[in-house]
Structure 1
Amino acid sequence: MKPRILLVALLFASLIPTTASAAARVQVLTGSTPDMRIMPSNSFTVADSSQLTGIRINLPVPVCDATNSSMCDDLTLLNLQDGFDLRPRVTVPFTGPIDVSTVTAADLYVTGPGGFSTPITQLVWDPKTNVLAGTPSDFLRESTNYSVVVTSGIKDTSGRSVIACTSVCSSTFTTETATPELAKMRASLDSGDAYARAGITDRGATFLQGGVRDVFPAATVTEIERGDQVYADPTKPLAFSLVPNSAVTGVGYYAFGSFLVPRYQTYADAVIPHVPTTQTPSPIGAQRVGFTLIVPAGTAPSGGWPVAIFGPGFTRSKYDLFLAADLNAAKGIATMATDPAGHSYGPASVAVVHQGALAATFSGFGQGADLDADGDITASEGVGPTDHKTVDANGNVIADAPSRFATVGLRDGLIQTTVNVMTMVRMVEHGVDVLGDGTVTLQKHVLAYYGQSFGAIYGTMVMATDTHLSVGVLNVGGGPIVEIARLSGFRNLLADQLRVSRPTLLNGGPGLNGFTESMPLRLDPTVTNPYPGATTIQKYFDHANWQERAGDPVAFAPLIRLRPPAGAPAKHVIWQSAFGDHTVPNPTAGELYRAGHVLDLVSYYRNDKTPTAGSDPHGFLLDPRLFGRDQGQAQVLAYISSGGATVIDPDGPGPIWEVPIVNARNLDCTHYSQPQSGIAYTASAGEC
């Protein structure tokens, strides 16, 4: 070829678009910002000797103003943590598109001490940013070094291996501590320091208000009523309702008492002031909380009646005791309950016990407060931080600002509730004289704890932490809280939080309540086209889970069997879950059970095989309208009365109870359309 012709040919070739085979290979990014490198990474930590891990998170915080204040608040709180999340959102940025079908457990995983390895699952590929995200299949240990590993086995859309550093990219990170804070609080109770700092000198129970003992022979009680302070203005009328009571067989007395607890949460925001993890939080003072007590009829055994503690659910109260203890008194077991922190409406709430024409009215010890300043006090307003509203003279909301502590969520309310229950345990050990004359007393030891829903959530924390308890039954619990909310009827609460966030995170789409998160469950396929704005919501939820671990039952579950605290007695704990639970969905229960390796201790109530299959089965332990109530309570009683030795199958060879659960995959799906699909809940069906 002549030189001139060759030159023309080369010039012409240079104008032809580059083919895929000649394009630059896709690489794993290894930049210097969180968005441009594999995360999590210890590159974004600093040394801090005041933390148990020796480090503290140090994520970059942008210039902050009114438009992005929530983002700044979130990062500021994260930068107080002493490590990364225990099931972190792993992100891997690439320079271009990849073939997601080539991502296998051998190419994207987390490694740790002792040969530990777990794949990254529940994958989301964002084609707009070329970022692959997912979570470790296994729950990680606290205060432990791990590495995210990405290999060149992943291929791009042309079938070529991606460039992963020199064949393997690795990002080392250290997990946070979550459970030591509550353990320190428990130790502070046992040493007496918590009481001293709170100014508590009387650790016992009292049944006296205004010189009158609020203890009533059960045979004389015709009705129990509650008057709830639902308005911040104490001059407005209370909202009265009857307390359902099915605990009548074998009952001698209904009693209403109170005791003092160390209060750790602030009253303005319902958060516990942060301290480094080598330190113990100090109470801000003392708070008097109420309790209900059902005492058996007859003569108490030597040493007093055995006593069990019941833990009520979210938005519920100590009055649920009267639905939760139908069988206990006849078995000779006294049962008591206190409210979850921040629950039971305002402090002006009352209880009214009717004895025919006579009525006794006394404080209900409501713990709620109008935290959002809208003039109302709801059933759980006080358990955690809320938005802050401005209302006009007519009560209309004219402005709504997010809380600085929004992503703290229910963490501190769960910690405070656990402290309250542990204080109740020690109150019982101090001695409880119901009538004040020594004739009706309780044993100075708590036989067992059992809790329903929220009561099983903080109940997991109680059973994992308290060395004074050994027997427990935990009914329809799960975690983390954000996952419970997004998959359940509490999704509207998350929507409110996303709406008021700065910037707002509501992204519309098909999802219920105005947002679509595009988050797969364990058995779902990889998401390859997340809805616009979904990955920002995913990051927000990840940060909330990260911050809430100190009040997350999933973080505490491993302490019950896998890694019990030093000096703790052997724990005897079983769990109950319901097929298709719409309030604490099955995948959140499965998350807890897998973290604790307790699937063999789970009894599974097959609501889909009962006459009430069309109902949400969440309340089956308490709700007389649901088929499994008597069976569930029978299993609870058999277990706690035997000291954790007897686990019955409530329907024997029948199909309604699996003891233990047969198909653990049923805990990997909701059994109803996920709310992010936009389909409202109707009923539950189908095996996973």
Structure 2
Amino acid sequence: MQQRRWHRATTSLVGALAFTAALSVTAPPALADPQKAEPLSVFPSDTLTVRDPAQLTGRRVDLPTSGCGAPISCGLVQQLNQLDGFDLDPRLAIRFSEPVDVATAAAQITVQEDRGGWRTGVDRVVWDPATNTLYAHPAQQLAPGTTYRVKVQGGATIKAAQDTFTTLSATDGLQDLQRQIDSGSAFRAVGIDRPGLQVQGVFPAAGTTVKWATDRGVTDPAATDVPVPTAALGGSIVFGTFQAPSWLTPDVTIPQTPTRDGGPRPVEAERLPFVAVLPPGQAPAGGWPVAVFGHGFTSSTNAVFLAAVENAKNGIATIGTNVVGHGFGPDSAWQVTSGGTTTTIPAHGRGIDQDRDGDVESSEGSSATGAAAAQSSRDALRQTVADNMTLIRSLGGTDVDGNGTPDLSGRGVTYFGQSFGGIYGTMLTGVDRAVTRSVLNVPGGPISEIARLSPAFRPLTAAALGAAGLLNGGVGGFTEQMPLRGEGPVTLTAPKAADIQEYLARSTWLSRPGSPETFAPLIDPQRVLVQVAFGDQTVPNPTSYTLVDAGHLWSRTSLYRNDRAGATRLPNPHSFLLVVTNPAAIQGQAQVAAFLGRGEVIDPDAAGDVWEVPVVDPRVLLPLNF
């Protein structure tokens, strides 16, 4: 009511001032009818699509390919032209006939459903004075496969304009893989009779030492010790494999197919590793409840040992496999010493020497190559999600120790993932109802924004921009002048900044079907707990904000305030869950175990202020905080 009264009062005041002006000197014609800036073009627009009945949206993108820039940029356009719509967070571009007041113009732009009442404003506003173009993004993430209307409301200095555009079916590709797995057609296509685990070795945690001999290509380093923190608890550690259908082609992409055709078909069966940590004691009837663990970027199955401590204490078995391109080369192996005997077990690393320099690095093979490089890790992530779906369906009734009774249960399987594992875990939880509950530790999205904002990953963005001929100097080799969500408008002054923004926006658009914020809205909040670290330098806080906000998961978000941790404060809190010598790890893992085991959300430090459960004010995650 107060807003309505204020609006009426303001209107009356404007009318009174106009009446007073009419009694005075008549304004000159140029002032009485000022020239208005006219919107000359609006992007995105369905005029840049063609009809295609093979697509769920009935459309296919048709961007012009002439004058598209460097070959890698032209290749990006060609790949975008296979999609059935525009991005879920499109870079809106409105070109005006002349300069405008940026803040005033931005306030008059809305994005709304073409058939429905939902609408949002814009933020992350950029003005390019060289072309009189205002760039912005919707304030909220859009839904896939939906037609929207961009409206410039018009006013005293700006003419009105509008156009419609349709978003791509961003979740469809991964959902197609899930449907193929659930129907069994994916397994039949590659000759897998039924999913299941093959055990290669079972050892008591107590008294067992583990070394990891990694295949690094031409020169392999000495085997390294792998800590087994559950040794003091007892229980067992298990090594083995399972077969999973793979949709990946050699360039680490999954072919784009029309969205109505059920998705691409798998190309082969791949043998993947697993590592499992079982709790001490006798397994209950039907086997131990199982939590699948998703490891982080550059990590591998060896992280399962660190992640399993609190689960083991709470009677939950932990199991995990390697992400695409991780675990170093295929000849990597475990050297397990127990009872005075050393056993060598293949670790089935998934890394490959993509750049042919003779060295297999920790994540080499997890990004697309060649003309598809702009897709980055999109399809490696989708394949990893599919691998974890297969792993979940391989668990039921597994007899690990050969005594005739199941040790691992396939019922009520839960999931928790750290960093990269939280990222693809968001995707997994969104599309696979076989995941009963999920804890997503320090996730964020989109991937392109993590790479741009993280000091550790910014060189990856620079390399992509360099290949496109877009480096312009600055931090990490480029200056993009892109505001964070919630910041005020930015006027471009750096050369090539507009081109850099466009390249990054298009890369993000192409990668959206394999990015976690796309799938966050599919998650029932009761099934998930999100853990975020204040000041995370690896997955920066603004990207966590994007993911959580997209899924409306604020009530399920727990914030570790590393800035309040005093003497135990970590230089970079990103890996707090696995730094088992730090109190935050035990606290965080206790929260994980409580949610996975009982569905209970606990505050790890009770009345303390180091943990906010849920996060008190989401806006605290808008800045970088480092």
Length-normalised TM-score, structure 2: 0.92
User: 2:439 pairs with 467, 473, 486, which one?
Assistant: 473
User: 2:60 pairs with 38, 56, 63, which one?
Assistant: 56
Answer whether contact 1:85 1:546 (CA < 8 A) is retained.
yes
- Shift of residue 24 of structure 1? 8.9
Answer whether contact 2:444 2:543 (CA < 8 A) is retained.
yes
Q: 2:371 aligns to what SS in structure 1?
A: coil
Answer whether contact 2:205 2:228 (CA < 8 A) is retained.
no
Q: Deviations over 1:86-138 (max 9, x none)?
A: 01000011122112132343x11111132111111110001111111010001
Q: 1:537 aligns to what SS in structure 2?
A: helix
> Aligned pair 1:552/2:521, yes or no?
no
Answer whether contact 1:228 1:349 (CA < 8 A) is retained.
yes
The residue aligned with 1:457 is 423
User: 2:414 pairs with 413, 427, 448, which one?
Assistant: 448
Q: 2:413 aligns to what SS in structure 1?
A: strand
Q: 1:292 aligns to what SS in structure 2?
A: strand
The residue aligned with 1:143 is 145
- Shift of residue 26 of structure 1? 5.2
Q: Distance in 2 between matches of 1:618 and 1:508?
A: 28
Q: Distance in 1 between matches of 2:504 and 2:582?
A: 33
After superposition, where does 1:491-530 map in structure 2 within 5 Å? Answer: 491-501=458-468, 504-509=469-474, 512-530=475-493
Q: Deviations over 1:411-467 (max 9, x none)?
A: 1011000000000010013x3111223246212324311111111111011111112
Answer whether contact 2:106 2:125 (CA < 8 A) is retained.
no
The residue aligned with 1:327 is 310
Amino acid at match of 1:230: R
User: 2:538 pairs with 568, 583, 606, which one?
Assistant: 583
Q: Distance in 2 between matches of 1:188 and 1:446?
A: 21
The residue aligned with 2:205 is 218
Greater than 4 Å deviation, 4+ residue runs: 19-24
The residue aligned with 1:596 is 551
Q: Distance in 2 between matches of 1:29 and 1:658?
A: 46
Q: Distance in 2 between matches of 1:192 and 1:302?
A: 27
- Shift of residue 23 of structure 1? 12
Question: Which of the two has greater helix per residue?
Answer: 2
Answer whether contact 2:412 2:436 (CA < 8 A) is retained.
no
Q: 1:385 aligns to what SS in structure 2?
A: coil
After superposition, where does 1:38-49 map in structure 2 within 5 Å? Answer: 38-49=42-53
- Report the number of matched residues: 594
Q: 1:576 to 1:266 in 2, by over 3 A?
A: same
The residue aligned with 1:161 is 157
The residue aligned with 1:649 is 603
Length-normalised TM-score, structure 1: 0.84
> Aligned pair 1:277/2:259, yes or no?
yes
- Shift of residue 627 of structure 1? 3.9
Q: Distance in 2 between matches of 1:54 and 1:325?
A: 47
Q: Deviations over 1:602-625 (max 9, x none)?
A: 011000000233511000110135
User: 2:38 pairs with 28, 41, 49, which one?
Assistant: 28
Amino acid at match of 2:335: V
Q: Deviations over 1:1-34 (max 9, x none)?
A: xxxxxxxxxxxxxxxxxx997999353343xxxx
Answer whether contact 2:374 2:464 (CA < 8 A) is retained.
no
Q: Distance in 1 between matches of 2:442 and 2:61?
A: 34
Answer whether contact 2:34 2:157 (CA < 8 A) is retained.
no
- Shift of residue 251 of structure 1? 3.0
- Shift of residue 356 of structure 1? 6.0
- Shift of residue 507 of structure 1? 1.0
The residue aligned with 1:189 is 181
The residue aligned with 1:108 is 109
After superposition, where does 1:48-447 map in structure 2 within 5 Å? Answer: 48-62=52-66, 68-105=70-107, 107-112=108-113, 113-153=115-155, 161-162=157-158, 164=159, 168-208=160-200, 214-221=201-208, 223-231=209-217, 233=218, 236-267=219-250, 269-279=251-261, 280-355=263-338, 357-386=340-369, 403-429=370-396, 431-439=397-405, 441-447=407-413
User: 2:590 pairs with 623, 634, 639, which one?
Assistant: 634
Q: Distance in 2 between matches of 1:614 and 1:622?
A: 12
Q: Distance in 1 between matches of 2:570 and 2:105?
A: 40
Q: 1:318 aligns to what SS in structure 2?
A: coil
Q: Distance in 1 between matches of 2:222 and 2:166?
A: 50
Q: Deviations over 1:312-351 (max 9, x none)?
A: 0111111101111112222221110111112111101111
User: 1:485 pairs with 437, 451, 474, which one?
Assistant: 451
Answer whether contact 1:94 1:130 (CA < 8 A) is retained.
yes
Answer whether contact 1:124 1:530 (CA < 8 A) is retained.
no
- Shift of residue 487 of structure 1? 0.7
The residue aligned with 1:679 is none
User: 1:616 pairs with 572, 578, 582, which one?
Assistant: 572
Amino acid at match of 2:282: T
Q: Distance in 1 between matches of 2:527 and 2:72?
A: 42
Q: Distance in 2 between matches of 1:626 and 1:518?
A: 37
- Shift of residue 250 of structure 1? 3.1
- Shift of residue 523 of structure 1? 2.5
Q: 1:245 to 1:108 in 2, by over 3 A?
A: same
Answer whether contact 1:50 1:278 (CA < 8 A) is retained.
yes
Q: 1:557 aligns to what SS in structure 2?
A: helix
Q: Deviations over 1:483-520 (max 9, x none)?
A: 1111102111111111122xx111103xx210111110
Answer whether contact 2:37 2:99 (CA < 8 A) is retained.
no
The residue aligned with 2:16 is none
- Shift of residue 287 of structure 1? 0.4
Answer whether contact 1:309 1:446 (CA < 8 A) is retained.
no
Q: Deviations over 1:236-271 (max 9, x none)?
A: 33452221222234332111110001011112x111
Amino acid at match of 1:28: E
Answer whether contact 2:576 2:585 (CA < 8 A) is retained.
yes
Amino acid at match of 1:179: T
Answer whether contact 1:617 1:626 (CA < 8 A) is retained.
no
Q: Distance in 2 between matches of 1:572 and 1:647?
A: 11
Q: Distance in 2 between matches of 1:139 and 1:276?
A: 24
Answer whether contact 1:91 1:133 (CA < 8 A) is retained.
yes
Amino acid at match of 2:253: V
Gaps of 5+ in 2: 1-28
- Shift of residue 300 of structure 1? 1.3
Q: 1:451 aligns to what SS in structure 2?
A: strand
Q: Distance in 2 between matches of 1:405 and 1:198?
A: 25
Q: Distance in 1 between matches of 2:33 and 2:361?
A: 60
Q: 1:302 to 1:218 in 2, by over 3 A?
A: same
Amino acid at match of 2:206: A
Q: 1:531 to 1:244 in 2, by over 3 A?
A: farther
Q: Distance in 1 between matches of 2:310 and 2:335?
A: 24
Q: Deviations over 1:148-181 (max 9, x none)?
A: 111323xxxxxx613x2xxx20010001111121
- Shift of residue 375 of structure 1? 2.1
Answer whether contact 1:369 1:377 (CA < 8 A) is retained.
yes
Gaps of 5+ in 1: 1-18, 31-36, 154-159, 209-213, 387-402, 563-570, 673-688
Q: Distance in 2 between matches of 1:229 and 1:28?
A: 62
Q: Distance in 1 between matches of 2:582 and 2:537?
A: 14
Answer whether contact 2:210 2:337 (CA < 8 A) is retained.
yes
> Aligned pair 1:660/2:625, yes or no?
no
